[in-house]
Structure 1
């Protein structure tokens, strides 16, 4: 999936998530708020319905108060006269007061008069004994006192629920003792329910607490345990109901009342939420479109341009192309960083191309480029000439003075070749110590002159600081008109160069020996007369023991070059003022083997190579590097060991001050038979004792 599609998908998903979050939040806030309003409204209406029922009970109370506190009623309890019945308890009374029953009882609860009336048929109906007994059992609120209040409320009867009021019968002044109870009742039937509903303008319904209840009443019943509680529950999406319970005159649950109303408030809240969601969706779509457009302009199109430019760079393989940089944001920074990377890669590419054609040490062309030029020359009609030059003794310099010294000679050789050859010459380092030059249309005299300048330049290019002397063997070949085989010319020039190397190899090696001697003078103590004193001491000892003049000359040469291997020891170890570590001692001891290799490589020193290797062996076998002992050690090495030790003790060294002659002689005698030949030690002590 491309970044553009990913961005659009992310925006769409984010907007959807935002919309859903806002929707559910709004639903929780708005709808729940309207549900609370709906609940509050239905609870208020339930209370209105209860008040409507209580108002009906209040009308009965008025009837009871009017009739119970009346002298005629007071006398009727005593005499039960028919005239009272005929004048007052007629059908019109029941119809006008909407009464279903009137009961008079005396103070003992005996029924004096009772009559039931059917308001629908407008005629008297029999009063069941069980109903009459229940009605007769109702008493006023405070018993039978003259000031007893009216007991009104709901009474559950076998044939239904009845709204009743019962008051004490007394005189018109209300001061005489009560002679009985007057009770008036009205059934809570369908007609009464409709009349109360119309009066309170609510859809109400009744059900007996202990009767057969509709399903929704049954669901509400567990939540109604007291008169003050109201339970609200939606019937469906269109209607909501509020329930409460009315107690009977004895305080027990008797009547369940339900108020049913349309869910106008809830639907209004739902409609507001729907409008809100629609507007939110439209705003989200507009916001998403604007965001995608801005993202396209500010990011995606620029990224596409960057990607296209990078593809073009990849396709053309051209690192010189640069990305457009516009603005100061992260994309501009990215483009700038890519441009910096391209510049770095371009530089690295140019560097690699250069390194692919040039030698890193000398800056000349390398062998691969030279061979390309040879291949081109083979196809060319031009006459070509090849010069081959070799640095003499480079391996020996590397092994003794280190590769850093050898690198100096190689760079000097490159400078000599550049100065000696014409500008159009192809000069290359062809191997480790070998150089090659390719020229075109040059005469034999010119080529010979170039070779001569190369040799002369090598002699003049000696390094004064290190004492290195550059010596080069040179060979050349010139193509004839019959052949232009550059490969054959290279082989011919190479053979010529090796012949030149053989002709002056001895003088070259002598030159190298002198170079090493100069290097040793720089790194050792010869400038302080160490070599001269050693030569004098070994000549005195050799003469004393009867060596020939030839042996004495060899012994003096050995004294001069015995430490030639120190040219390969680092200065930090060679000139360290303190004691050497075990690792440094091992490096220092390697100078015997280095010197042996140098002497073996130089014909002038070959005959002392074995002595150079063994000049640190001890008489008791604890020396190095071979662990020889006694007369296994060459005589020359035993002589040099005494002279070198004495001179080292009596002269300044970096690691200690000189000691007196007496102390040096005592040290020699102490180590006779250990480090030194005991016989030679006594002879040497006799010689140095006589020295000033």
Structure 2
């Protein structure tokens, strides 16, 4: 060790500098490689696993969406007066009219089973969607249709049982709901069960919908080695699994349970390892760039070190450093001799003279800019990326509820956003677009008042693309937005009674008239003697009568019924799901309210 130190001391300054730079470069490359290997690649693996889990969630959401579609189909049929009657009298007209092959085909169903409250199958058939013909119920389905089966247990009118069962012909999606009236009233007269096979066609449709490579296998059934290993790792408590298959593929597994909560099926989502392989490539490029950059820096450092040996250059550097530290641009570096260094020293002095003059002009410009900034009618501000306000004018402070600029400078711009989502969205858009024009958002002032602002924002980024400052100006448009909301309200409401107007009534008529099964009740009434009252007593009394009539009519209807004033003395009411009885009852309630008022 002592001998090495002596050898180092005997080396020239150039060799010493070269040795130190090479040693530093070697240590930097090794350290960068180890750190990036440990953290960078690990991060890519975690991102890859997170993406697989998200795709498994997408698969499960798509499967839930299929069950929800079946639930909606079932609800249309189970909560229907015709079905409610059919389950009791088993009339053939219902079967002939509704339970035809086109029904199965249009609804994409393989099974429809009507079961009365005694557990007896009143009607049930399967349907071959490929050959377009009715078939018997699938084998094995009957054991799920027996009295006491979880599929048929409906303890309330809104009960729904959604499940996947494994039949000899393959897995099937099943949905069961109680048979009730169109008004969703009881008592429950039985259950309606609809189903669709989870076959190759359905799996392909799910794959196309989610843009995933999907494979379905029965739990415990011998298959490829990765499925066999997945069986031992999946459980009801841990229904998802991510496994690396090889350098090019990764798979996610999702365990599906049956109606009894037992493992039934396993879905596999197969994905290429693009993220991991890209990470490895990035890691290699990173290390290569570090090495190349290190050698470039080494070469530049050697050139600079060669020049720094000269004492005059060292003194010149010291003089310049001193001026830079003191910011005294009136000082000058010493000039001696007539060689290149003397020329450099003279040019430095010329530059210092220019800097001294420019500094005065910059100071004047800063004062002019500050005057424009502070006196602007807009709320101007400059903030750090974390929201800390670095500079603002009085208008900005007053918009946020501060009395003085000094108080605003102690606050944080991002804290005035009304929620984390708005804050994150603002920063995300700014980083993506670099500037935001006419960006509208809500802010909460220091006194708790919420305002709506319009702002133009420019992000200042460094050479690496990192946001370093936010420059912007804001307008308070709360009053304008309030007026817009008022105008929107008046466009659909009658200003006298507060009821909907004719335009909104006609729009609702078109919307409700497009329904498939639900009837719509319409009641039209007018106020007798309104013209006589207007002519004899005055229009103000006529207006009072219209308001009283609107209040009386409003008390006679449900919250979801739509009441509108469609003319001078005319009112109209739309009653969704309103049959003849419902409309007649509503008319009686109107008469009662009118009699109470009179």
TM above 0.5, one fold?
Answer: no
Using the size of structure 1 for normalisation, the TM-score is 0.39
Bigger-Rg structure (1/2): 1
Larger strand share, 1 or 2: 2
